[in-house]
Every structure is written in structure tokens, then in C-alpha cells.
Chain A
Amino acid sequence: MTCKDIRDLLPEIINNPGKYPEAEAHLQSCADCREEFAFLQELREGIRVTLPDPDPLETAIPKLKTVRRLRWERSRRPVFAAVSLAAVMALTLILPGVFTTDDLQFYADYDTETEKVLSSIDMEEGWQISTDEIAMYLLENADMETIKELGLENYQVQS
């Protein structure tokens, strides 16, 4: 392998140490490649520290916006999709324990911290996730099997 090949491969060596023994051996013997490798490690660490992934607690609102956008996209389809993630998450808050399928339990369990945030943003201006609205949406659009699955047959609209 030439130095040029090794330099193309340096990100793989950083991300998968031990997977490229021949290239790593080259680094031991080539000061220039070793120096570039050290620079890339420094760069990667700098990016990790200064530009990390967001905290999940900060992303509840954009997640829900994404879900709403998808719900809107789906609603444009001939086959009307009924249950959205937003609906399930919100229903989890008001009807804990009613979900029995693996899929729905996943949402019910997924992140209690996010649930706290969701409940706290219910009243935020411009971001009202009305449980009534969601329940009505489901009653109007979901099939009977889904409504029964969610325990909504006798749901009473609160407001």
C-alpha cells in the first residue's frame, strides 16, 4: 500500500481500530502518515466535543413536527393512515397501560423523559397537542380493529 492509499483509508482506521493491520503497521513506520492520522483524530475529537448530537430532551418538539408532517403526507395517500406516532405518544400520556401490542408498547416505554417534555409542551403557544383532537382523529379515521386495540370505543371527548 502506498502512502496515498493509506491516507484515503485513515478515516476507516479511526472508526474501526484493529480492522486494518497492514495500514496500522504502515503508520508505525511512516512519520508523515502518522502525523496526518494524529491530525484527523484531533479533528474528529474536536467535532465530537463542539458539535455533538442534540440532547433528546431538546428534540421532542421537532420530532413531533416531523410526525405531524408525515401524518399530513400520509393523509394525502388514497389509503388513509390513522395512527401516528404523535397520537400514540399523546395517548400514552392519558391512557397508560392500554397498549398491548409490541409496537405500541415500544412507544409507551420508549422514553419517560421525552414523555415529560411532551406533557410540558401541551400548552405551549402554537403547539397544542390536544388529546381530544387526536382521539377524534382516530375515531374518525382508524379502523374498528385499531380503535378497539387502543381502547377507544367508549372514549368521551373532554372539552
Chain B
Amino acid sequence: MNKTRKHIIDKWIVQYYDAVLGMALRLTGNRDDAEDCAQDVFVRAWRKFDSFRGDSHPMAWLKTITYNICYNHLNRNKSKAWNEMDENQHYDIPVPEDQKRGFDPSLLKLLSPGEKAVLLARIYDGLSFREVAECLNTTENSAKVSYHNAIKKLRKAMS
């Protein structure tokens, strides 16, 4: 079992690390923090492997772990997250103005950790309200409120 688990997690690192890091980057807005979180995701997956339901997609499980770890990280570092971030610092890839389509990553600074996590989880990573609520240790209703608040803030900022 231990050997099997080890091989599976190693494969997941190869297959899913980039997607996990991408999620963590969007959530934390900071490369170093994102890499720390991504590392923690696979360590937790290894430790909690017994709770993985084999009939679900590994990435679905890793998503929930990623959101939980990043959200906790954001709450611990509220004053730091995103404030240090220059909007395209992630990959040092300049984004042409005509490709931004009205959205600027720095707008995510307007959102609380919960609002940002729910928004990204819902519209980008396809998590349900129930899944997001579990990741954030909150209720489905609270997740919905955070989601609609986030939309309202961004609509106002982008209008």
C-alpha cells in the first residue's frame, strides 16, 4: 500500500503539479507562497491518501486540498497577500493591453480571501458551492454570499 501510494503521488506530481501551482498562484498572487502551498498540497495528499475516493478524478481531490491550503495561507497572511504583487509578476510575461479584456489581476486585491477563493473556485476551477464551502470550512450559504459580493465588487471596479 505504501509503495503504491508513493508511486501514485509521484505520478500526480508529474501530471498535476503545474495545474496546482497555477491555482495557488491565482489565489496567493505570489510565486514563493504559491510554491510553498503547492508543496503542501502534495504532502497532504500523501498523508491523507486513504481518504481519496478512487472513483473520483485525482485533480478534483487535489483542487479541494489546494483551495483549503491556499485559503488558510491567505488568512494567515492577510496583510501580505497580493499587496506585494505587481500584476504580471507571476511569470514575467507581459500581457498585451488588448488581451486584458477589462480584467486586471490587481483587482483581486479588492476581495477578501474568502471572496477571492469562492470566485476563482466557482468561475475558473468549476467547484460547486458545496465543495467550496467544505474547502473554506464554511456553509454553502456563506459561500454564496461571498461569491455574489465578489462579483458585485468586480463589476463595480470594471465598469
Residues of A within 8 A of B (CB): 7-8, 11-12, 14-15, 36, 39-40, 42-56, 58-59, 62-63, 65-67, 69-70, 73-74, 77, 79, 81, 83-85, 88, 103, 106-107, 110-111
Which residues from chain B contact A54 at a C-beta distance below 8 Å? 18, 21-22, 25, 90-91
A58 to B95, CA, bound (A): 18
Which residues from chain A contact B19 at a C-beta distance below 8 Å? 53
Q: Would you call B101 and A106 a contact (CB within 8 A)? A: no
Which of A43, A48, A85, A107 interacts with B154 by CB under 8 Å? A43
Q: Would you call B6 and A50 a contact (CB within 8 A)? A: no
Whole-angstrom distance between the Cβ of B132 and the nearest chain A Cβ:
10
Interface size on B, residues (CB 8 A): 49
Q: Report if B103 contacts A (CB, 8 A).
A: yes
Which of A14, A46, A81 interacts with B102 by CB under 8 Å? A46
Which residues from chain A contact B151 at a C-beta distance below 8 Å? 36, 39-40
Which residues from chain A contact B14 at a C-beta distance below 8 Å? 63, 85, 106-107, 110-111
Q: Would you call B120 and A47 a contact (CB within 8 A)? A: yes
Which residues from chain A contact B124 at a C-beta distance below 8 Å? 44, 47-48
- Beta-carbon contacts under 8 Å, B65-118 to A: 87-88, 90-91, 95, 99-105
Which residues from chain A contact B42 at a C-beta distance below 8 Å? 66, 70
Which residues from chain A contact B7 at a C-beta distance below 8 Å? 103
Say yes or no: A69-B25 contact (C-beta < 8 A), given A14-B123, A46-B103, A84-B10: no
Which residues from chain B contact A15 at a C-beta distance below 8 Å? 126
Q: Would you call A51 and B25 a contact (CB within 8 A)? A: yes
Q: Is the interface of B mostly helix, strand, loop or mixed?
A: helix
22 A-B residue pairs with CB within 8 Å: A7-B148, A42-B101, A43-B123, A45-B101, A46-B100, A49-B95, A49-B99, A50-B100, A50-B104, A50-B105, A53-B18, A53-B22, A54-B18, A54-B90, A62-B21, A66-B17, A69-B43, A70-B46, A84-B10, A103-B7, A106-B11, A111-B14
Q: What are the 5 tightest A-B residue pairs by CB atom distance, in nearest-first order? A: A46-B103, A53-B22, A85-B10, A11-B122, A15-B126
A54 to B38, CA, bound (A): 12
Q: Would you call A59 and B6 a contact (CB within 8 A)? A: no
Q: Report if B51 contacts A (CB, 8 A).
A: no
Q: Report if B149 contacts A (CB, 8 A).
A: no
Known: A47-B123, A85-B10, A103-B7. 8 other contacts (CB 8 A): A46-B101, A46-B103, A46-B104, A53-B19, A53-B22, A70-B9, A81-B6, A85-B14
A42 to B122, CA, bound (A): 14
